Chains A and B, each alone.
Chain A
Amino acid sequence: MKRHSVVSVAAIAAAALVATGALSSCSSSGTTAADAGSKTIRVTLANHVWTDTIKSKLPEFEKATGLKVELSQYGEDQLSAQYNVKLNAGTNEIDVMMYRPLQEGKLFAKNGYLADLGTDVKANKAWDWQDFQPGPVGTTTYKDKVVGVPIITEQEVLYYRKDLLAKAGLQVPKTMDELQAAAKAIKAQNPGVAGFVARTGKSPAVTQFSSFLYSFGGDFIDESGKSGVASDAAKKAYAFYGGLIRNYGPANVSTDMSWPEAMAIFTQGKAGFYTEADSLYKNATDKVKSKVADTVGFAPMPAGAGGSKAYNVPSWALGVNAASANQANAWKFIEWATSKAMTLQIQQAGVPGARSSVWDDPAGIATYPADLAAAIAVSTKNGVGHDRPLVIKVPEARDIVGNPIVVAITGGDSNAAADAASTAFQKLLDAEK
Chain B
Amino acid sequence: MIGTVTTRPTAWSTYSAWANRHRKWFFAAPAMIFVGLLIVVPLAWTVYLSLTDSQGSVRAESKFVGIANYLQVLGDTERFWPAVLRTFTFTGGAVATEMVLGMGIALLLWRPFKGEKWVRVAILLPLVATPVAVGMMWRLIFDPNIGFANQLLSWFGIPAQPWLSGQTTALPTLIFVDVWQWTPMVVLILLAGLTSLSEEPDEAARVDGANAWQRFRYVTLPLLRSTVVVAIVLRGIDALKTFDILYSTKGKGGGSFHEVETLNVYAFGLSFDYNDYGISSTVLILFFLLIIVLMWMVTHRRKGDES
CB distance from B80 to the nearest CB of A (A): 15
A87 and chain B: residue at smallest CB distance: B57
Chain B window 5-29, contacts with chain A (Cβ cutoff 8 Å), 1 for yes, 0 for no:
0000000000110011001001101
1/0 contact trace for B166-192 toward A, CB 8 Å?
A: 010000000000000000000000000
Instruction: Say yes or no: A252-B253 contact (C-beta < 8 A), given A11-B19, A392-B56.
Output: no
Please state if B162 and A252 are interface contacts (CB–CB under 8 Å).
yes
In the complex, what distance in Å separates the CA atom of A201 from the CA atom of B259? 13
A110 and B55 CA atoms in complex are apart in Å by 12
Shortest beta-carbon distance, A206 to chain B, in Å?
A: 11
B273: A residues at CB distance < 8 A:
80, 395-396
The reply to whether the CB of B133 lies closer than 8 angstroms to some CB of chain A is no
- On chain A, the residues within 8 Å of B271 by CB distance are 84
| B37 on the A face (CB < 8 A) | yes
- Of B57, B60, B144, the residue contacting A254 (CB under 8 A) is B144
- Flag whether A88 is at the interface (Cβ < 8 A): yes
Partner-binding segment picked from A2-10, A292-300, A326-334: A2-10
The interface residues of chain B lying within 8 Å CB-to-CB of A363 are: none
CB of B30 within 8 A of chain A?
A: yes
Whether B26 pairs with A1 at a CB distance below 8 angstroms is no
Interface centre among A8, A110, A203, A399 (most CB of B within 10 A): A8
Report whether B253 and A202 are in contact in the complex, using a CB–CB cutoff of 8 Å.
yes
Tell me the chain A residues, 354-405 only, with Cβ under 8 Å from chain B: 392-393, 395-396, 399, 402-403
Given known contacts A111-B56, A256-B255, A11 and B23 CB-to-CB distance under 8 angstroms: yes
Residue from B23, B56, B165 within 8 A of A8 (CB atoms): B23
Tell me if A81 and B272 are in contact (CB < 8 A).
yes
Asked whether A254 and B165 contact (CB < 8 A) given A4-B20, A5-B16, A202-B256, the answer is yes
| Nearest-neighbor residue (CB-CB) of A90 within chain B | B59
Q: Closest CB-CB distance, B152 to chain A, in whole Å?
A: 15
The answer, yes or no, to whether B213 is at the interface (CB within 8 Å) is: no
Count class of interface residues, chain B: 35 or more
A396 to B167, CA, bound (A): 21
Is there an interface contact between B27 and A11, defined as CB atoms closer than 8 Å?
yes
Task: Tell me the smallest distance from the CB of A212 to a CB of chain B, in Å.
Answer: 17
Stretch of A12-20, A55-63, A157-165, A178-186 contacting B (4+ beta carbons < 8 Å): A12-20
B257 within 8 A of A: yes
Nearest to A110 among chain B residues (CB) is B56
Is residue A342 within 8 Å, beta carbon to beta carbon, of the partner chain?
no
Q: Assess whether B251 is interfacial by the CB under 8 Å rule.
A: yes
Query: CB of B211 within 8 A of chain A?
Result: no
Are A14 and B29 in contact, with the CB atoms below 8 A? yes
Quick check: B252 and A15 within 8 Å, CB to CB? Answer: no
B275 at the interface (CB under 8 A from A): yes
Contact status of A410 and B167, CB under 8 A, knowing A11-B19, A111-B57: yes
Chain B residues, CB < 8 A from A406: 256-257
> Given known contacts A1-B1, A8-B26, is B272 in contact with A84 (CB within 8 Å)?
yes
| Cα of A356 to Cα of B252 in the assembled complex, Å | 36
Within the complex, which residue of A4, A107, A203, A254 is in contact with B16, where a contact is CB–CB below 8 Å? Answer: A4
* B19: chain A residues within 8 A (beta carbon): 7-8, 11-12
3 tightest A-B CB contacts, nearest first = A254-B165, A11-B26, A252-B144
For this complex, 21 residue pairs linking A to B, each with C-beta atoms less than 8 Å apart, are A1-B1, A8-B20, A11-B29, A12-B26, A15-B26, A22-B37, A77-B251, A81-B272, A84-B272, A84-B275, A88-B57, A107-B56, A203-B252, A252-B162, A254-B144, A256-B255, A395-B273, A396-B273, A396-B274, A406-B257, A410-B257
- Give the interface of A toward B (CB within 8 A): 1-2, 4-5, 7-8, 11-12, 14-15, 17-19, 22, 77, 80-81, 84, 87-88, 90, 107, 110-113, 200-203, 250-256, 265, 268, 270, 392-393, 395-396, 399, 402-403, 406, 410
Given contacts A8-B20, A84-B272, A203-B252, 16 further A-B contacts (CB under 8 A): A2-B1, A4-B16, A8-B23, A11-B26, A14-B29, A15-B33, A18-B34, A19-B33, A22-B37, A107-B275, A110-B56, A111-B59, A200-B256, A251-B160, A254-B144, A396-B274
